[in-house]
Amino acid sequence: MTDALVPLLLTLKIAVTATAIVLFVGVACAYVLNRYSFWGGQIIDAIFTLPMVMPPTVLGYYLLVVFGRRGWLGAWLQENLGIQLIFTWQGAVLASASVAFPLVYRAARAALGGVDHHLENAARVLGAREAKVFFRVSLPLAWRGVFAGTMLAFARAMGEFGATLMIAGSIPGKTQTISIAIYEAVQAGQDNVANFLVLLTSLVCVCILAASGKLLQREF
Amino acid sequence: MKLDVQMRMSLKAEDRLFQFDVAFQSAKNLIVIFGPSGAGKSVTIQAIAGLIKPEQGRIVLDGRTLFDSNAGVNLAARERNVGYVFQDYALFPHLTVAQNLAFPLQRSLRDGDAGSALVQEFLAKFDLADLRASYPRQLSGGQRQRVALARALIRKPDILLLDEPLAALDPVLRGKTRGELLKLQQSFDVPMVVITHDPADVEAFAEDLIVFDNGKVARQISVDATRRASQIREVLALD
């Protein structure tokens, strides 16, 4: 049954990569939008939230339009950097990151916004530069909310199906993630394979939830 | 010490528009800003500290221009060397007492050295040595205030701004703390601006009394030590 481990390991690789990316980008976007109010800020906030409510296949279609072989960015990437995203695991990362981003972004905005402004102001009066205010006061006090959002993002990235299928296809070993593998196993009537994959995935999810629950419980 | 403040600002809060038009000067070491809630006292010291930017005005401390709208000067809070004690003390809950004191000693991302001699000195001076490894949530109100004061004074600020420093303390502690604040002012030789709505604080502290009303300075009285009590009663009775 080691064959069945392949889609799981691939999915973990894609989900971890996607989550790492959206953690960084999501927190950065949350910081900027919380701190600076500018015209169009609400529109950008809506765009950032959109992948969360949009049907995954619609999102996948938009990603194809932009990153596909003849897409706006896809063609440029192909010609100038020789990078092709569709039908690759990096494309799957892109799809997973797109659906996971709003989860980190919104959690980070709420968590960072919930930090007592007096504390941040106290830090400023005590001589701290803005980077220090963020990394030494705001982020440490917001980490639980950000972490919870990141766990949700990881779960979402692990389960991504529709957008991944559209942009990365289902190439065993390269882009056939576990959700896709389960779907195809059921379609082909391979119940044993499907059962195994489903149980394995459930076990992984439970372990992740338990671990994150323990981390959240420890008081700082 | 010479503090020169002139500022104008409108603040929107829910549906109401608050207009602040404040001007005062003082060369005294103990300045009390007195007035009812909402009169603009906190806003004024927040502007002095650089946490709020007035629309128009000039704030000069000891010849140093902290803010000047005409000249386009607006020093960031971190550059002003102003000490600020918030009403709720604003102690960093995720840091120990010693780490709170060490925070201002390092401007970069590296942590200040909680074990440094200076921190030890201030822990002792403020009777906090036993609490060095405690977290703010484990401290009493009076202890928290001492940490807030120590943290504000450890960088030797040019002026110390205190927002209703005694409001959160019980009446017995208040009397004791008044005496301690006066002693602090003398031993650190740092000018203090105290915001309060408690007449007893005015009696204890004021060398210059600035009375705020509805966003404006209603009166400024230079308090003479010998006639202090009667002067103050006279002022406050007129309000």
Q: Where are the domains of chain A?
A: 2-217
The rounded distance, in Å, linking the Cα atoms of A198 and A188 is 15
In this prediction, residue B82 has a pLDDT band, given cuts at 50, 70 and 90, of: very high
Q: ipTM of this complex > 0.95? A: no
Nearest CA in chain B to A118: B90
Nearest CA in chain B to A135: B109
* pLDDT exceeds 70 at position B229: no
The rounded distance, in Å, linking the Cα atoms of B178 and B201 is 7
The rounded distance, in Å, linking the Cα atoms of B71 and B89 is 34
Say if B108 is an interface residue toward chain A (CB within 8 Å): yes
**Which of B92, B109, B152 is closest, CB to CB, to A131?**
B109
B108 CB neighbours in chain A (<8 A) are: 129, 132
The C-alpha angle with vertex A18 and arms to A98 and A200, in degrees rounded to 5, equals: 110
| CA end-to-end distance (rounded Å), chain A | 43
| Highest mean predicted confidence (pLDDT) among A6-10, A143-147, B200-204 | A143-147
> In a 3-state reduction of DSSP, which class is residue A170?
coil
pLDDT at residue B225 in the model: 64
Say if B144 is an interface residue toward chain A (CB within 8 Å): no
Q: Which amino acid makes up residue A180?
A: I
Which of residues A31 and B203 earns the better pLDDT score? A31
pTM attached to this predicted model? 0.87
Name the DSSP letter for residue A220. -
The rounded distance, in Å, linking the Cα atoms of B35 and B51 is 21
Q: What is the pLDDT of residues A22-47, one digit of tens each?
A: 999 999 999 999 988 888 889 999 99
What is the count of residue pairs from A and B with beta carbons less than 8 Å apart? 61
Q: Tokens 């603009």 identify what position? A: B40
A119 CB neighbours in chain B (<8 A) are: 90, 92-93
SS (H, E, C) chain B: CCEEEEEEEEEEECCEEEEEEEEEEECCCEEEEECCCCCCHHHHHHHHHCCCCCCEEEEEECCEEEEECCCCEECCHHHCCEEEECCCCCCCCCCCHHHHHHHHHCCCCCCCCCCCHHHHHHHHHCCCHHHCCCCHHHCCHHHHHHHHHHHHHCCCCCEEEEECCCCCCCHHHHHHHHHHHHHHHHHHCCCEEEEECCHHHHHHHCCEEEEEECCEEEEEEECCHHHHHHHHHHHHHHC
Q: Among A127, A112, A71, which residue's Cα sits nearest to residue A94?
A: A71
Q: Which domain holds residue B122?
A: 94-156
> Does B98 map to a domain?
yes
> Does B116 map to a domain?
yes
Nearest CA in chain B to A122: B90
The rounded distance, in Å, linking the Cα atoms of A178 and A159 is 8
CB contact under 8 A, B104 and A127: yes
The mean-pLDDT minimum among A7-21, A91-105, B11-25, B147-161 falls in B11-25
In this prediction, residue B226 has a pLDDT band, given cuts at 50, 70 and 90, of: low
pLDDT at residue A220 in the model: 44
Residues 6+ apart with CB under 8 A from A82: none
Number of domains in chain B: 1
The rounded distance, in Å, linking the Cα atoms of B104 and A164 is 48
**Does the domain spanning A2-217 belong to CATH 1.10.3720.10?**
yes
Q: Which residues are bridge partners to B10 per DSSP?
A: B19
* pLDDT exceeds 80 at position A215: no
Q: What is the pLDDT of residues B144-177, one digit of tens each?
A: 999 999 999 999 999 999 999 988 888 888 888 8
